[in-house]
Structure 1
Amino acid sequence: MTHDRRRLTLACALWCLAGLLALPAAARAAVSISDAQLNPSTTQAAGHPNVTIVTAFGYSSAGDDVKSVRVVLPQGLLGDPNAASRCDQMSFAGDACPTDSRVGTTQVTATVLGVPTNSAGDVYNLQPTGAEPARLGVVVRPAVGGKIFLQSPVTLGAETNYGLATTFDDLPRSSGGVDTQIQRMSLTLNGRAARGAFTTNPTRCAPAIMQVGATSYDSPGQTATTTARFTPTGCDAVPFSPLLSGSVGARGQDGNGGRPPLRTVVTLPSGGANLAKVAVALPPDLAPDLNGLQRACPADQFAAGTCPPTSYIGTAVAGSPLAPAPLTGPVILGSGAFPPPLAVPLTGAVALTLHGTTALPTSPNQGISNTFEGLPDLPVTRFELTLTGGRGSLLKAVNDLCRPNARTTVSASFTGQTGRTVTQLVRLPVVGCVGGARPGGGVSLRFVRGVGSLVGRFAAAPRGPALTRVRLTLPAGLAPGVGVAATSLPTVYAGGRRLRASAVRVRGRTVDALIPTRRGVRSAVIRWPGLRPSRSLARRLASRPRLAFLVRLTD
């Protein structure tokens, strides 16, 4: 009986020990974040503050140490790598980074032999590696022991809600052969660097939340997390002045039923509010071609971002002062709704996908509209979107775009991150109308008994703007007769109607006619009798010489 009881006690003890060993490492020892702070020197939206990030740690085991720290800044709190020079890896490893590559400072508090010790250091702008947009390097210089070198790529994307993210891993556990335990880290990014403003506050006056995560050496699989925040202020003082431009058309595609390309460009000055929403109504003389809808990406592929090139209906280019090269990508026609949605997956230093909705016209003077909203608080100073023309185009012209009263006006509404809205109406110029079709005409001259009568007939380009002014100069050797009667003065007909004498001016061998109507005319005729040739020209009239008249038509 006693022997069996001892066996049972030993079995229970072994079972309990096995249970303890099976517990996650985090249950035995883990790091915690006891404090996190995000302190900008100014909360002014779009301002350039010194930003101090503080993290403090606690441990459940005296022998554990923090291994990695990851910080994701709020969306819109940015650092411009172009504001400082870039330090190369060799210089960084030798603590020889140039002064103009310094973008901040750091303070680290660690326990050494049970005594808190503070160590200072600097933050440098390093040369990026691979496709990363930027890289930070930190050099800590303890009073005792060797220097500590840390570096991290700076990334942002949908996974960080487009906030800048850095991860410093493999933090040191000793200094000069003596065990240390990091208690607190403080890193300050300067508002200005050697070449200009480095940090910029969000341009949206809403809580800006920083996320912090930390792991320990004893529990690398468990991440302690916390947040810190501040709220930008003064959005009313942030400028917002977007500008819309563009063009429509191409040679051979501007007539009724043509499939012209459409190009729109949005520019935004640096230093102001970033875009949050863009709504653009296309020209009324453009309509969707139902045949083009057959190119739409299937709904499941559209949702997964795996659309085939056959669904591409255009291209987009976005420029940012923070990116070394523009972001580029296709404009994709989706499905699953009518009118169909759009997607613009941009790639480059940052991956950014814009999602747009399409709406039918709400008035006769409006075309279909596209709206992109929920845009991240990122600086985009130029955005160009082109819908391709030609065969398979999504758009077709429902009227002749080259006619004088063609409806090529685009209406746009821009909303900034500050909440301010700006609207614009822009008449897009038509490309391809005038290329080979210019105003033209001809001049005939007939002599009877040595006196010449001129008739000039002129017309606007078939698909071009109307004529507003006609000017004709006689060739050398031909001039109005001296002392001729009023009936021998030139007369001008515009659109079939004779112009008043006040609209026609004669100076020597030149007649200049201003057409008073605002819309201009499609045709004009000049009749000029009583012209006298010089003796030299009179002798050559029998051989019908070629005469050069100088004609200037203004449309």
Structure 2
Amino acid sequence: MTAPRTHRLGLGWLAALTLAALLAPAAAQAEFGIAPSSFLAKTHATVPLAQAVNPFPVYQREVDIGAIAAAPSLIQAGAHPDATASFRLVESTPGASDDNAKDVEVALPAGFVGDPEAVPACTRADFSGAFSPGTSGSCSPVSQVGVASFELNEGGGGTYPVYRIAATTGSPASFGIPIFGIAGIVLNPRLRSDGDYGLTVVTSDINGQPYGLRRSSLTFWGVPADPSHDPERWLGGGDGDWGAGSGLAPRPFLSNPGYCDSGPLDTTISLDSWQAPGQWLPVNPLDPAYRSSAPAPGGCGSLRFGGLAAPAGLSFQPAVRRADTPSGYDARLTLPYNENPGTLANPTLRDSVVKLPPGVVIDPAAASGLGACSPRQIGFLGSGFPLPAPLHFDERPVSCPDSAKIGTVEVRTPLLDHPLTGAVYLAEQGDNPFGSLLAIYLAIEDPATGIVVKLAGRVVADPADGDLTARFEDNPELPFTELALHFFGGPQAPLVNPQVCGAKTTATELTAWSAPYTPAIVVSDSFTIDGGANGSTCLASVAAAPNAPSFEAGTVTPIAGAYSPFVLQISREDGSQRLRGLNLTLPPGLSGKLAGVPFCSEAAIRRAESMTRPGDGARELASPSCPPGSRLGRVSVAAGAGPGPVHVPGTVYLAGPYKGAPLSLVTVVPALAGPFDLGVVTVRAALEVDPASAQIRVLSDPLPQILEGIPLDLRQLRINLDRSDFSLNPTSCARMSLAGGLLGTDSVAALSSPFQVGACRALGFEPRLRLSLKGGTARDDNPALTATLTQTAGQSNIARVSVALPHSEFLDQAHIGTICTRIQFAAEVCPPASIYGHARAITPLLDQPLEGPVYLRSSSHPLPDLVAALHGQVDIVLDGRIDAVRGGIRTTFSTVPDVPVSKFVLRMRGGKRGLLVNSTSICNATKRATVQARGQNGVAHDFAPLLQAQCSKRD
């Protein structure tokens, strides 16, 4: 963060500008205000008071405004000049001013501040005693910071000391002018927290006095304790006299600003009267009578920013030194403050750019319970104002929620005797002075002094690695010597330590208001991460981290053949390799019912994938890209280091073909966490279906690692496919597993979770087969065969089946022509002549049947295999081995997918392309086939269905 520039051109100067309002009434006249061309404000070298012969000491001295006006302006940046202000009020009647001033406010240029700590404060009791009739109190000469001369309407006046006095509650300092035996004038400066952070001196409800004011001149001393001022130092109260030593070591009270490119610096005055309260003058804020311009400072190249004897310093240290662990952080920036009146003051800090160590990044876990501060709550008034304060905030106390507080701030300034404290708040995403994703506010409130300071800093997270840079620019021109920030620690700390051990360095570039005439400086600090996460061994590299995630998966109700939600959970510990991708093979028979589930369209998926901008998450939540009918379940992602990662929910949808797979899953996660909306994370996973077993393999796209510069640090992935009657258990009670691999940062971790269902024996198993021949019935005829297998719902699925035709049916090898090779079959380029039939399967899991050609395919057995290639939403291959048994032909399907099939129809050609030949007339006797079926539950069912033929009565 940058610190303000030290324009410490006196708080005491304000006294001169408001003195007219502090002495009161003459009779009300027609006009009231500052006389044209009378307002002068100037910095200069010491000009002695003019002396006059008078028996009363207060009339023996007078501010020599003529000599001051003729003296050259002292505008060297950082110098410690005297400062004088002089003016007179409008006089409708010569010798008398009009109306009585009630309230006066004098606004100094931003950066003109004084160091009241240059002298001790006079107590209010001693100050009151200096002007109250009949009292003997007085302020000590050591508290004097200047002199003031004025003329009264009745011809009186005089010259009086100006003291630093004990501050009024709610003001950073107070100055008093004792008009002996008559009045005490108290000036209370306040900080313009709603603008440019300059000082405005306020005098309110001024009490009437017996004499009205005509003219005033006031000089504040640049170095009050300098011996050159001893002749003008007042000793004693109303009966005192000029001439006294200070006895203090000289310390600058005023210093010229260090901003040489500021342009002319204006001082303005405004006031109202008892006769017209609330009617402030000037009516026109540009009225030149109420404005005095001073030249811009020069010679900034002579300033030293940082200093040799007291260089700038930086400390940035974690509370916890374990890798990959949430941690609080303490930052401390120190700047020199030169109190040597013989040298130039240090310029103040304008900009700071803080680059945190690589790997110190935002912890997503911090979003749990985190709030944000809105522009209204912080009191932001707008941007685009002129330098030196482009951003404006109001003066009200902040109303940011405690949930938005991420740290504390403490500032020490040489201008006050105590530190200023406040809080660090997270700004609302996008709705902040920079329109940025990340921004913070520093809010300081000090009731004792009435000081309110609100600063905004932009935080930039590198989109590639999350490294953080904080920028505080054009900060108030106010000096400080120490700025301490404490960022909260604990499980929801906003920052997390780097993943690997070793030295980590923070670097900060500091630019003064005197730039470019003084160069920027860089300060740095280092710390060491010397322990692994959760007490583990230190890692020298990310690749060396362990990759051993925990993995659990299965159905909620593991009953054979029953529908049940499917749940999968993968978790990893802090300090382990990040989750980057997943492949998973489900157990045979664990399937899903696609019937009635529409796909999330490619257009809808593209919409979801395009919603990557901050703020898109809420839009996706309000209007999901995919239709609700495509929803299969829920996904929950846990992100962030520590014991309390943030959990972000999303939705799993069914989608169509992807990357060569017939089906896919789409997970759509609106990245909404706490006050953050990082858009939408869309991850697609291809669902490959093994054509022989119908076993499903899931291949996910890479998991995102960083969003908008915030590393996701995925800790847990939980998927719950809870759509009613979707996930279907197998009907085999064999011990199986869900197995796969998890891609980490530098390796793949094997995943395995045991899986087994029960109650298989409770399932029935009674498939039925109807066999019919169509065509010639005589010997040597080639009939067509139709085999229709049916099974009622709720039974065990078929695991294996063989069908032996009666002796009447042989394989007609003369009709075995073209055979599809295995290579051709794998490439799906079987010649049409290798097709000998057609198959069709109806399953409750799909909207449409699967169907396709039946081939003869080359085999390692003596006879070619009979292969049904079924196509549809998925592709299934049923591989049947043909052999001879007891003089007949037999086909055995030794591996049948564990999925429910309500009807399967196999049609084999007859005639010239028929593979079957009658060995005898098939109508002269009843013919039966032999079927041996085994269920997935291990139950056998053997039966002998009738072989039906188209026999006539003649046959």
TM-score (norm. length: structure 1): 0.63
Where 2:558 maps in the other structure, the secondary structure is coil
Show the counterpart of 1:496: none
Alignment root-mean-square deviation, CA: 3.3
- Structure 1 residues 331-361: Cα deviation after superposition (integer angstroms, max 9, x where no partner): 3154554455433333443333333223323
Q: Distance in 2 between matches of 1:295 and 1:49?
A: 46
1:262 to 761, 773, 785: 785
Q: Superposition pairs for residues 226-245 of structure 1, below 5 Å?
A: 226-245=751-770
Q: Output the CA distance in 2 between the equivalents of 1:210 and 1:188.
A: 15
C-alpha separation in 2, matches of 1:154 and 1:274: 22
**CA positional deviation for 1:381:** 2.6
In structure 1, C-alpha distance between the alignment counterparts of 2:659 and 2:552, rounded to whole Å: 31
In structure 2, C-alpha distance between the alignment counterparts of 1:30 and 1:82, rounded to whole Å: 44
The question of whether the paired residues in 1 share the 8 Å contact of 2:854 and 2:866 is answered with no
Distance 1:298 1:162, change over 3 A: closer
- Structure 2 vs 1, CA of residues 55 and 265 (structure 1 numbering), >3 Å: closer, same or farther? same
Find the aligned partners of 2:882 and 2:600 in 1 and give their Cα distance.
Answer: 47
**Cα deviations across residues 398-453 of structure 1 (Å, max 9, x unaligned)?**
2223x3x334322212211111112222223323x45xxxxxxxxxxxxxxxxxxx
Task: Say if 2:703 is the partner of 1:171.
Answer: yes
Give the conservation status (yes or no) of the 8 Å contact 2:730–2:898. yes
Letter in 1 for 2:685: S
| Corresponding residue number in structure 2 for 1:332 | 856
Shift of 1:90: 5.0
1:39 to 529, 547, 554: 554
Task: Say whether 1:68 aligns with 2:591.
Answer: no
Task: Letter of the 2:853 partner, please give it.
Answer: G
Structure 1 318/177 Cα, relative in aligned 2: closer, same or farther at 3 Å? same
Q: 1:310 to 1:125 in 2, by over 3 A?
A: closer
Q: What is the deviation of 1:235?
A: 0.5
For residue 180 of structure 1, report the CA deviation from its aligned partner. Answer: 1.9
| Aligned residue in 2 for 1:80 | 593
Q: C-alpha displacement at 1:303, in angstroms?
A: 9.6
Residue aligning to 1:136: 665
Secondary structure of 1:291's partner?
A: helix
How far apart are the structure 2 equivalents of 1:230 and 1:211?
10
Alignment correspondent of 1:416: 935
Which of the numbers 184, 203, 210 marks the counterpart of 2:716? 184
Amino acid at match of 1:261: A
Q: Which amino acid aligns with 1:388?
A: R
Residue 359 of structure 1 corresponds to 883
Distance 1:281 1:395 in 2: 13
Structure 2: how far apart are the matches of 1:27 and 1:158? 40
Kindly tell me: are residues 246 and 225 of structure 1, through their superposed partners in 2, closer, same or farther at Cα, counting changes over 3 Å?
A: same
- Three-state SS of the structure 1 residue aligned to 2:580 is strand
Larger radius of gyration: 2
Residues 151 and 35 from structure 1, CA distance in 2 versus in 1: closer, same or farther, beyond 3 angstroms?
same
Decide whether the 8 Å contact of 1:81 with 1:322 is kept in 2. yes
5+ residue gaps, structure 2: 1-540, 609-619
1:169-204 deviations in Å (ceiling 9; x for gaps): 2322234542221011111111x43xxx11111110
Separation in structure 2 between the aligned mates of residue 113 and residue 88 of structure 1, nearest angstrom = 38
Amino acid aligned to 1:150: V
Letter in 2 for 1:238: L
1:120 aligned to 2:633?
no
> What secondary structure, in the 3-state scheme, does the structure 2 residue paired with 1:391 have?
helix
Whether 1:205 and 2:733 are equivalent positions in the alignment is: yes
Give, in whole Å, the separation in 2 of the partners of 1:296 and 1:165.
31
Aligned match of 1:54: 569
User: Within 2, Cα distance between the matches of 1:47 and 1:283?
Assistant: 38
Q: Write the distance in 1 (CA, Å) between the matches of 2:705 and 2:646.
A: 14
* Cα distance in 2 between the residues matched to 1:309 and 1:101: 38
User: Sequence identity, in percent?
Assistant: 27
Residues 427 and 87 (structure 1), Cα distance of their counterparts in 2 relative to 1, 3 Å cut:
same
Secondary structure, in 3 states, of the residue corresponding to 1:426? coil
The CA deviation string for residues 212-267 of structure 1, in whole angstroms up to 9 with x for no partner, is: 32224x54xx43222112211110112323111131022xx222221111111112
**Partner SS, residue 120 of structure 1:** strand
1:88/1:290 CA distance change after superposition, 3 Å = closer
Q: Is the 8 A contact 2:836 2:853 kept in 1?
A: no
1:296 and 1:89 map into 2 onto residues whose CA distance is: 39
* 1:379 counterpart (893, 897, 900): 900
TM-score by length of structure 2 reads: 0.38
SS of the aligned residue for 1:317 comes to strand
1:396 is matched with which residue: 913, 917, 921? 917
Deviation for aligned residue 1:35 = 0.4
Q: Deviations over 1:13-60 (max 9, x none)?
A: xxxxxxxxxxxxx99357724201013211111111222101123576
1:148 is aligned to 2:684: no
Distance 1:113 1:206 in 2: 39
| Greater mean alpha carbon deviation, residues 263-272 or residues 47-56 | 263-272
Q: Partners in 1 of 2:824 and 2:667 — Cα distance?
A: 43
Judging changes above 3 Å, is the alpha-carbon distance between structure 1 residues 30 and 399 closer, same or farther for their aligned structure 2 residues? farther
More RCO (CA 8 Å, sep 6+): 1
Equivalent pairs counted in the alignment come to 395
Conserved 8 A contact 2:797-2:898: yes
**Residues 279 and 116 of structure 1: CA distance in aligned 2, closer, same or farther (over 3 Å):** same
Whether the 8 Å CA contact 2:821–2:857 is kept in 1: the answer is no
SS of the equivalent of 2:761 reads helix
> Aligned equivalents of 2:554 and 2:601: distance in 1?
30
Closer, same or farther: CA 329–121 of 1 in aligned 2, 3 Å? same
User: Contact between 1:145 and 1:177, CA under 8 Å: does it hold in 2?
Assistant: no
Segments of structure 1 that go 5 or more residues without pairing to the other structure are 1-25, 435-460, 464-555
Query: Separation in 2 of the partners of 1:113 and 1:145?
Result: 22
**In structure 2, do the counterparts of structure 1 residues 210 and 342 end up closer, same or farther at CA, with 3 Å as the change threshold?**
same
For the structure 1 residues 158 and 245, does the alpha-carbon distance in structure 2 shift closer, same or farther, using more than 3 Å as the test?
A: closer
SS at match of 1:283: coil
AA paired with 2:652? Answer: V
CA distance in 2, matches of 1:375, 1:334: 20
Query: For residues 491-521 of structure 1, what are the alpha-carbon distances to aligned partners after superposition, in whole Å with 9 as ceiling and x for unaligned?
Result: xxxxxxxxxxxxxxxxxxxxxxxxxxxxxxx
Tell me how far apart the structure 2 counterparts of residues 179 and 296 of structure 1 sit (CA, whole Å).
57
Q: CA deviation at 1:166?
A: 2.4
What letter corresponds to residue 151 of structure 1 in structure 2? Answer: R
1:292 is matched with 815
Change (3 A) 1:30 1:84: farther
Looking at structure 2, the residues matched to 352 and 407 of structure 1 have their Cα atoms a distance apart, in angstroms, of 35
Could you tell me which residue of structure 2 aligns to residue 322 of structure 1?
845
**341-350 or 67-76, larger mean C-alpha shift:** 341-350
What CA distance in whole angstroms lies between the structure 2 residues aligned with 1:424 and 1:399? 23
Contact 2:737 2:754 (C-alpha < 8 Å) held by counterparts? yes
**Structure 1 residue identity aligned to 2:910:** G
Where is the strand percentage greater, Structure 1 or Structure 2?
A: 1
Aligned equivalents of 2:921, 2:940: Cα separation in 1: 33
Task: Confirm or deny that 1:346 pairs with 2:870.
Answer: yes
Instruction: For 1:397 and 1:339, locate their aligned partners in 2 and report how far apart those are by CA, in whole Å.
Output: 19
Residue 384 of structure 1, CA deviation: 1.8
Report if aligned partners of 1:312, 1:333 keep a CA contact under 8 Å in 2: no
Relative distance call for 1:215 and 1:263 in structure 2 (3 A) is: same
Distance 1:354 1:211 in 2: 25
> What's the CA shift string for 1:138-165, capped at 9, x where partnerless?
2224323333222223221159x63222
Summarize deviations over 1:293-347 as a string: whole Å, max 9, x none: 4655678878998764444332322233334441313231545544554333334
